Amino acid sequence: MENDNILSVKNLEVKFNLRGQVLTAIRGISLDLYKGESLAIVGESGSGKSVFTKTFMGMLDQNGSVTAGEILYKGMDLAKFKSEKEWLRIRGKEIAMVFQDPMTSLNPLKPVGKQIQEALEMHQRLKGKAARKRTIEILNDVGIPLPEMRYKQYPHEFSGGMRQRAVIATAIACRPNILICDEPTTALDVTIQAQIIELLRGLQKKYDLTIVYITHDLGVVAKVAERIAVMYAGDIIEIGTCNEIFYHAQHPYTWALLSSLPQLGVKGELLYSIKGTPPNLFKEIKGDAFAPRNPKALNIDFLIRPPYFQVSPTHFAKTWLLDPRAPRIDPPGTIKRLQDKWKEIKPNA
Amino acid sequence: MLKYILKRLLQSVFTLIIIATAVFLLMRLMPESGYFGDEYDKMDAEQIEASLAAMGLRDPIPKQLFNFYKSILSGDLGKSIVFRPKVEIAKIIKQKIPYSIPFGLASIGISLVLGVSIGVIMARFKHKLPDKLGNAYVVVINAVPAAVYYLFIQLYISDILHLPILFDAEKPLSWILPACSMSLSGIAYYAMWIRRYMLDQMTKDYIGFARAKGLSNKKLMYRHVIRNAFVPIAQYLPANMLFTISGSIYVESLFSIPGMGGLLIAAIQRQDNPLVQALVLIYSSIGILGLLLGDLLMALCDPRIKLASKGGSR
Amino acid sequence: MTKIAKLEKNLEEQIAQYDANMLFQQSEYDADEAEQGGYSNYSYWRSTWRSFTKNRTAIFFMCVLGVLLLFTLVQPLLPDQKDPTLIFWVDSMPDMNHRPDAQFWFGTNSTGQDLWARIWSGTRTSLAIGIIVGLFDALLGIIIGAIWGYVRKLDRLMTEIYNVIHNIPHSIILILVSYMVKPSVATMIFAMCVTGWLPMSRFVRNQIVIIRDQEYNLASRCLGTPTFRMIMKNLLPYLISVIMLRIALAIPAAIGNEVFLTYIGLGLPVTIPSLGNLINEGRIVMMSASSRYQIVLPSIVLSVITIAFYVIGNAFSDAADPKNHV
């Protein structure tokens, strides 16, 4: 993996003003994004995944703001950007985003081709016939058949999968360096999901993209991600390569997440679900945010917020269980099975 | 698409028939003196009966109804009794139209251009001064009855701007004040609705995506928001247009414009039943025609409607 | 990314504050603590009130209106008030067009009647018409709308009727009805009510259909919620705010309609003072500068009232919209 930082987030804090109260959505995240990688950000609804990536493009809602930290990109600190002019240098051109619902992402009253062409004309300095030609090429690239005909059609004439392809085409047309995909397959059929994932992988190779996937679906993650960041309550509590997270998870929340995946072929076991609810982000959180829901929590989890503990040069987790003074805790059954499985795959690891 | 047009046309015709019938029945409830004008007091009961019978007003209702439809379809709107005795109503109306139409068109033009512009500005500067000013204007125009502010315009503005108060076909300047007055409420209407629809659109996802593409707020507004916000407005555009053309009743009488609006007032004041009947019918038809055209315009602007009736492709 | 090999000094200091053994012991699992999710103390009416009170213009107009309304009701009871229909004489001639002074605060009109008394009496009449029309429209609208929404078989028929009536311009129907009946307060109210119930009924009908068909209501029903409770909790709060909005807007509309009809000649008889009549009377003498007060004064009162109701009505409607409850 190249150690080439393309985006570096340091201690980012994001707060929202809601009904007179302040909600801390992002509580101090630090993250490095490497050029050309696929990073997946996993977490439940409300963990802050979307908010986090929106800060890279200045797409936070009106009542939200970055209150601390830095977002370093190409020598600029995006967290300090205030004016639209500054963001217009970034949006599309450097960082592009694909939203979850392709139907609502497209203007229903404009032909699809025109919407893609708009991005081209803005970022590639192509006009008229040249732009149209390139648009049709891009439509081809993303796997839409009969692109000349599709160019003139309206969004509601496309099927769900094709719409998402069109949306991806629009994002690609901008030739960004970083592509953020916010739940790109959640609104699609399972069979179409696989196609879209394949498409994104192909495009990544072809255009040398860095892709950030946001998803709550670990199955999708397994297919696409090189690295996985697990988010909970506005913080990244564990990050590592795909194998490390699946086979060597260290944080109790990651354990719980992996355990709640229904396993094919394990009969008779009750479906596991994490007890309790995510914490109230209006209140200040003391210690580890996951502690109240963690039956195996230590006392210190409630008092002091854990720092990143290093498990390997690429694997970090924010849990006191990794402190040498902590007792040895057995991970739950599913995790043990995964660890054993790893030993089968790589007996020398 | 064709199916949709046909369906709408049929609906309109159906509504028209119902309205014509309703007008007809209502008219039979009108005071009988309306058929006679000044002579009514001089006639005795027998003469009244005889005249009514000669006019066909004592025939059984179905027969009257049939004759009524027949005459309308042949363009015969009857003869005025009081207003211009024995003159064909159709002729009277034709005389008035050339005055109402230019004013109507002018006022629609002004309303649209100014109204949409103001509405767009209001949406762009939401909650700031331009928005508040626009809002204040809309409130005053909507809350205060038109008669009142028209009067004030006549009273004060005409002095300030040295524009003639009463309309005179010879003086071009005298066109200005009435046309502008008529457009006041139109401006408020379009400004308010464009602003509302624009703000509606701005919260939609596709605007967020377009912004993520790198579109500036300005480009977003002009290329996507305004165009999409205009579509619902287009629906009522023809109806508004036709209405204003048929003559604003207030403005015409206030500025002494010999148009169709004043005709209705005169007909009512003189109790000229056939004229009132004809005018009500005409105004209603204009209303229906306007709504029909509006729906068709919508179908043209919004591709979803067009293709929904085709069955779409998946 | 900061790679932490050893704990930062800061953290070590924090840890040192506690007993190390205790820290790294397993904690007791408390199921209640686990359910710490955000608690929403959202109350619809409280949020509506909060939104409304934030709108300073609306509050201002409410105060103005309150004062005005109070005064209109109290005015006849004040000392030295004159009868609005009484003609005042000066030297065996009616005291016509007497400019405002200490004797007649608003002057007299062209018949010699006291304008001050006439204006307040007219306001009372017009307000009464407006409120009654508003209430009646609401009532009729709700009843018809409820039936329309509930009885599925009637839906098509009612929709057609709605379309027909909707297609005919309001003013025409208003004119027609007024033309046919003798002018009086009751008939004017009747004329305005003929079409006023339409928007309300359509609204209620839509809400009922939503109650029937929306998924959150289907879910409610699956859980066993009785229809009555669904109406109370889902429909009614929204309905009440809409009713209040409509009544608030009905008043300027009614006054406007009244002015319109009077203008055409179908208004109330001159013996009943109303704002419409007053405007009309003022219009007749408006051209001479000395009697302009006869149009200006009623217009001011009328404008203040209509604007106030309009602003308050709209402000309330905005405040009651849950989308604005941030």
CA proximity to C162, closest of C179, C180, C147: C147
Pick B147's closest partner by Cβ from C164, C263, C311. Answer: C263
Confidence band of B145 (pLDDT split at 50, 70, 90): confident
**A159/B208 Cβ within 8 A:** no
Q: Does A158 lie in the same domain as A39? A: yes
| A11 and A145 in a common domain | yes
Q: In CATH, what number is assigned to the domain containing residue A287?
A: 3.40.50.300
Burial class, C93, CB count within 10 angstroms (exposed 0-12 / middle 13-18 / buried 19+): exposed
Query: Which range has the worst mean pLDDT, B32-41, B50-59, B161-170, B266-275?
Result: B32-41
d(CA A250, CA A236): 13
Instruction: State whether C163 and B11 contact (CB < 8 Å).
Output: yes
Residues B107 and B250 placed together within one structural domain of the fold:
yes
Q: Do residue A303 and residue C37 have CB atoms under 8 angstroms apart?
A: no
Say how far apart CA A154 and CA A151 lie, in whole Å. Answer: 8
Do the domain assignments include residue B89?
no
CA distance A113 to chain B (A): 14
Last residue of a domain, one of A189, A206, A225: A225
B41 assigned to some structural domain:
yes
Closest Cα in chain B to C278: B148
Is residue A104 within 8 angstroms of chain C, CB to CB? Answer: no
Distance CA B125, CA B131 (A): 6
Q: Please, what is the average pLDDT of chain B?
A: 77
Residues in chain C closer than 8 A to B31 (CB atoms): 180
Contacts of B210 in chain A (CB under 8 A): 107, 115, 118
- Are A277 and C35 an interchain contact pair (Cβ–Cβ within 8 Å)? yes
The interface pTM score, or ipTM, of the predicted complex is: 0.83
Checking if the pLDDT of A332 tops 90, the result is no
CA-based nearest residue in chain B for residue C264: B265
Would an 8 Å CB–CB cutoff place B235 in contact with chain A? Answer: no
pLDDT at A331 over 70: yes
Summarised one tens digit per residue, pLDDT across range A232-264 is: 999 999 999 999 999 999 999 998 888 887 766
Report whether C306 contacts C257 (CB < 8 A). no
Compute CA distances B161 → A119, A133, A188, B153, B262, whole Å. Answer: 50, 57, 65, 10, 26
Please indicate, yes or no, whether residues B55 and B154 belong to a single structural domain of this protein. Answer: no
Strands A309-312 and A95-98: unpaired
Instruction: Flag the least confident range among C31-45, C91-105, C236-250.
Output: C31-45
- Asked if B68 and B281 count as a contact pair (C-beta separation under 8 A), the reply is no
Q: Which of B243, B260, B277 is the last residue of a domain?
A: B260
Q: Are residues B146 and B32 in the same domain?
A: no
Residue C310 to residue B280, Cβ atoms within 8 A = no
Domain-located, residue B200: yes
Cα–Cα distance between C78 and C20 in angstroms, integer? 84
Q: Which structure tokens are listed for A247?
A: 């086979």
Q: Within this chain, do residues B109 and B189 fall inside the same structural domain, yes or no?
A: yes
Asked if residue C1 has pLDDT above 70, the reply is no
Q: Strand, coil or helix: what is C182?
A: coil
pLDDT surpassing 70 at residue B295: yes
Q: Which among C263, C299, C310 has CB closest to B143?
A: C310
What's the whole-number mean pLDDT along residues A93-109?
A: 90
pLDDT at residue A211 in the model: 94
Over residues C277-289, the pLDDT tens digits come to 888 888 888 777 7
Q: Do A326 and C22 touch (CB under 8 A)?
A: no
CB < 8 Å to A170, chain B: 209, 213
Instruction: Round to whole Å and give the CA distance between B180 and A199.
Output: 59
How confident is the model at residue B290, as a pLDDT?
81
For the range C45-50, what are the long-range contacts, defined as Cβ-Cβ under 8 Å and sequence gap of 24 or more? C45/C237, C47/C322, C47/C325, C48/C241, C48/C316, C48/C319, C48/C320, C48/C325, C49/C319
B162 located within any domain: yes
Domain identity same for A168 and A248: no
Of A18, A282, A307, which is closest to C11 when you measure between CB atoms?
Answer: A307
| C228 vs C302: which has the higher pLDDT | C302
- Are residues A201 and A236 located together in one domain of the fold? no
A-C C-beta contacts closer than 8 Å: 89
DSSP state of B175: G
Minimal Cβ distance to A298: which of C26, C34, C38: C26
Q: Are residues B59 and B181 in the same domain?
A: no
Taking an 8 Å cut-off on Cβ atoms, the answer to whether C167 and B19 are in contact is: yes
User: Are B249 and B105 found together in one domain?
Assistant: yes
pLDDT tier at C326 (50, 70, 90 boundaries)?
Answer: low
DSSP A286: P
Question: Which has the higher per-residue pLDDT, B39 or B218?
Answer: B218
For residue C276 the two structure tokens come to: 């419409």
Q: pLDDT value at position B308?
A: 45
Instruction: Kindly report, residue by residue over A266-303, the tens digit of the pLDDT.
Output: 677 777 778 888 888 888 888 888 888 888 888 888 88
Same domain, B109 and B247: yes
Question: Nearest Cα to C122, choosing from C298, C292, C312?
Answer: C298
Q: Are residues A122 and A207 in the same domain?
A: yes
- Over residues A196-202, mean pLDDT: 91
C303/B287 CB distance under 8 A: no
Q: Which of residues 198-227 of B touch A (CB under 8 A)?
A: 204-206, 208-217, 223-224, 227
Write out chain A residues lying below 8 Å of B213, CB-based: 91-92, 96, 118-119, 122, 170-171, 174
Same domain, residue pair A210 and A340: no
Least confident of C164-173, C244-253, C306-315: C164-173
Record the pTM: 0.79
User: What's the average model confidence in pLDDT over A326-331?
Assistant: 83
Chain B residues inside the 8 Å CB shell of C306: 143-145
Residues of C in contact with B127 (CB under 8 A): none
- pLDDT at position B247: 62
Query: What total number of domains does chain A contain?
Result: 2
Chain-centroid distance of CA C76 in Å reads 27
Evaluate whether residue B309 is within a structural domain. Answer: no
Q: Does the beta-carbon distance from C279 to B18 stay under 8 Å?
A: no
Asked if residue A196 and residue A254 are part of one domain, the reply reads no
- Of A162, A190, A225, the last residue of a domain is A225
Report the length, in residues, of chain B: 314
Examine the pLDDT at B248 and tell me if it is beyond 50: yes
- Same-domain pairing of A165 and A255: no
Residue in A84, A107, A122 nearest the CB of B224? A107
Residue C12 has pLDDT above 60, yes or no: yes
pLDDT of B153 reads 81
pLDDT digits (tens, 9 = 90+) for C130-187: 888 888 888 888 888 888 877 778 788 888 778 777 777 777 777 777 777 777 888 8
* C-alpha B57 chain-centroid distance: 31
A115 & A212 share domain: yes
pLDDT (0 to 100) of residue B38 = 61
Task: Write down the pLDDT at residue A320.
Answer: 87
Are B185 and B249 within one domain? Answer: yes
**Quick one: B57 and B137 in the same domain?**
no
Whether residue A190 is found in the same domain as residue A247:
no
Of A29-33, B74-78, C265-269, which range is least confident? B74-78
Residue that finishes a domain, picked among A225, A240, A255 = A225
Report which of residues A4 and B41 the model is more confident about.
A4
What are the residues whose beta carbons fall under 8 Å from the beta carbon of A162, sequence distance 6 or more? A144, A150
Over chain A, what is the mean pLDDT? Answer: 88
SS3 B152: helix
Residues B67 and B106 in one domain: no
Q: With cut-offs at 50, 70 and 90, classify the pLDDT of residue B305.
A: low
In this predicted structure, the answer to whether residue B314 has a pLDDT above a threshold of 70 is no
In a domain, B190, yes or no: yes
Contacts of B159 (CB under 8 A, 6+ apart): none
Instruction: Enter the tokens of residue A73.
Output: 């990109």
**Do residue B131 and residue B249 come from a single domain?**
yes
Average pLDDT, chain C: 80
Are A220 and A193 in contact, with CB atoms under 8 Å apart? Answer: yes
What's the pLDDT score for residue B84? 67
Higher-scoring residue by pLDDT: B275, A10? A10
Q: How far from the centroid of its chain's Cα atoms is residue C107's Cα?
A: 33
pLDDT level of residue C4 (50, 70, 90 thresholds): very low
Q: Is residue A192 within 8 Å of residue A109, measured between CB atoms?
A: no
Does B312 have pLDDT greater than 60? no
Q: Is the pLDDT of residue B313 over 60?
A: no
Which letter does DSSP use for residue B313 in this model? -
The average pLDDT across A140-168 equals: 91
Among B12-16, C99-103, C186-190, C320-324, the range scoring the smallest mean pLDDT is: C320-324
Note which residues in 261-320 of chain C have CB less than 8 A from chain B.
Answer: 263-266, 279, 283, 286, 292, 295, 299, 302-303, 306-307, 309-311, 314
Q: Is the pLDDT of residue B297 over 50?
A: yes
pLDDT of residue C5: 45
Indicate the pLDDT class of residue B32, thresholds 50, 70 and 90: low
Q: Compute the radius of gyration of chain A from its Cα atoms.
A: 21
A1, pLDDT greater than 50? no
Number of structural domains chain B divides into: 2
| Structural domain containing residue B62 | 2-73
3-state secondary structure B6-27: HHHHHHHHHHHHHHHHHHHHHH
In chain B, what is the greatest distance between 2 CA atoms, to the nearest angstrom?
85
**pLDDT for B169:** 67
Could you say which of A104, A107, A119 has the minimum Cβ distance to residue B228?
A: A107
Q: Which two tokens stand for residue C202?
A: 């359509």
Do the Cβ atoms of C220 and C233 come closer than 8 Å? no
Q: Whole-angstrom Cα distance, residue B64 to residue B80?
A: 18
| Facing residue for B212 by CB, picked from A97, A101, A153 | A97
Does residue A54 sit in the same domain as residue A198? yes
User: Looking at chain A, how many residues does it have?
Assistant: 349
The set of chains that have 3 or more CB pairs under 8 A with A is B, C
- In terms of DSSP bridges, do strands A315-317 and C93-94 run parallel, antiparallel, or are they unpaired? unpaired
Using CA atoms, how far apart are residues C97 and C113, in angstroms rounded to an integer? 9
DSSP B153: I
B117 and B238 inside one domain: yes
pLDDT tier at A95, thresholds 50, 70, 90: very high
In a domain, B272, yes or no: no
* Lowest-pLDDT range of A39-43, A176-180, B192-196: B192-196
Query: Do C24 and A300 count as a contact with CB atoms less than 8 A apart?
Result: yes
> Is residue B36 very low, low, confident or very high in pLDDT (cuts 50, 70, 90)?
low
CATH number at residue B143: 1.10.3720.10
Place of tokens 């016939």: A129
| Domain region containing A317 | 230-345
* Domain presence at residue B303: no
In Å, how far is B191's CA from the nearest CA of chain A? 22
At A124 the pLDDT is 81
User: Looking at B55, B73, B91, which one is the last position of a domain?
Assistant: B73
pLDDT tens-place string over residues C29-49: 777 777 766 666 777 888 888
Of C130, C221, C203, C216, nearest in space to C162 by CA: C203
**Beta carbons within 8 Å of B131's beta carbon, 6+ residues apart:** B121, B122, B123, B125, B195
Would you state the pLDDT for residue B30?
65
**pLDDT tens-digit readout, B222-234:** 888 888 888 888 8
Residue of chain A minimizing CA distance to C3: A310
In the chain, the amino acid numbered A148 is E
pLDDT tens track for A200-213: 999 999 988 999 99
Residue B6, pLDDT > 80, answer: yes
The verdict on A173 and A304 lying in the same domain is no
The reported pLDDT for the residue numbered A176 is: 92
